[in-house]
Amino acid sequence: MIICRTKAEMREAVRGWKRAGETVGVVPTMGYLHEGHLGLVRMARQKADRVVATIFVNPTQFGPNEDLTTYPRDEARDLALLEAEGTDAVFLPNVEEMYGAGGDTFVEVPGLSAILQGALRPGHFRGVSTVVTKLFNIVTPDFAVFGEKDYQQLTLIRQMVRDLDMPLEIVPHKTVREADGLAMSSRNVRLTAEHRAEAVQLSRSLTVAEELAKSAPAISALEAAVRQSLAEAPSGKVESVDIRDAETLEELSGMLDRPAVVLLAVRFGTVLLIDQRVIAPAD
């Protein structure tokens, strides 16, 4: 496994593979890997001849009151996990290597950046779209794999790639969950025992929505049922419950008549957890 800490090293490795006619898949991460990330790596392996994982805790997607300094990091463990999965290369730049001095160019998808989590975290998705664009330009992959748990991020990146004619395919991967249903996240390790026990209510609430959706209820009834279920986690502060068009993230009203995505954001202490599920009326 090649470890590349500079853009030049990463580009040189990819050039060699492409000269040999091999395809390249990339899995962008912020490190502190868990089984969810490794599932993305395995899917990239199915799609491409060579797999690159990137590890970069991107400062431009953190707000002034967010957890950049406390974001968990364990480089040695991450590298061991990726090597065990047969990853071909890991791109591990520092902030200076990624952004240099005096950089003043950003990439933004204004509509999708301003809603949902973007409204709660101004500037977050501008940081995401900018760093992902840079990673795509450095690695030049044929495929990039992203998890569905960050559904708004996945939707935004798909639109960015389409709008800017980027020559790669965005491959989604189902949310990977703990045995009790909690969506895997690097932030789960920061939950207290009490909060960890209650956090499973997010996935239970999504199951409530999935079952209720089969009868094509009113959107307002769906939201009310989800909020009632989330109330069974008394330590959780519900920041948002949104039910949106599964393809465009447009707001829905009236009765559920098409596939929709339920998006949750619940804070336990200082830890913000998100989860999602696509639901639809029965055929």
CATH code at position 234: 3.30.1300.10
For residues 114 and 154, membership in a common domain is answered with yes
Specify burial of residue 248 (Cβ count, 10 A radius: 0-12, 13-18, 19+): exposed
**Are the C-beta atoms of 223 and 238 separated by less than 8 Å?**
no
Is residue 16 domain-resident? yes
The reply to whether 46 and 162 lie within a common domain is yes
Same domain, 76 and 112: yes
Q: In this model, does residue 64 exceed pLDDT 90?
A: no
pLDDT above 70 covers a percentage of the chain that reads 100
CB-based burial, 54-79: b 16+ in 10 Å, e otherwise: bbbbbebbbeeeeeeeebeeeeeebb
What secondary structure letter does DSSP report for 30? -
Q: Which residues are documented as binding site for ATP?
A: 30-37, 147-150, 176, 184-187
Q: Which of 116, 145, 173 is the last residue of a domain?
A: 173
Q: What's 88's DSSP letter?
A: S
- The reply to whether the predicted model has a pTM over 0.75 is yes
Of 73, 116, 84, 78, the closest CA to residue 248 belongs to: 116
Give the residue among 278, 239, 271, 224 at the shortest CA–CA distance from 116: 239
> Which pLDDT belongs to residue 91?
98
Q: Which of 138, 173, 208 finishes a domain?
A: 173
- Annotation: binding site for beta-alanine: 61
Co-location of 14 and 142 in the same domain: yes
Residues with a catalytic annotation lie at 37
The pLDDT value recorded for residue 283 is 80
Distance, in Å, from the CA atom of 128 to the CA atom of 140, rounded to the nearest integer, reads: 17
For residue 51, the enclosing domain spans 2-173
Say if residue 158 is in the same domain as residue 24.
yes
Which tens digits make up the pLDDT trace of 103-160? Answer: 899 999 999 999 999 998 899 999 999 999 999 999 999 999 999 999 999 999 999 9
Is the pLDDT confidence value at 65 over 80?
no
**Residue 67 clears pLDDT 80, i.e. is over it:** no
123 domain residue, yes or no: yes
Binding-site residue positions: 30-37, 61, 147-150, 153, 176, 184-187
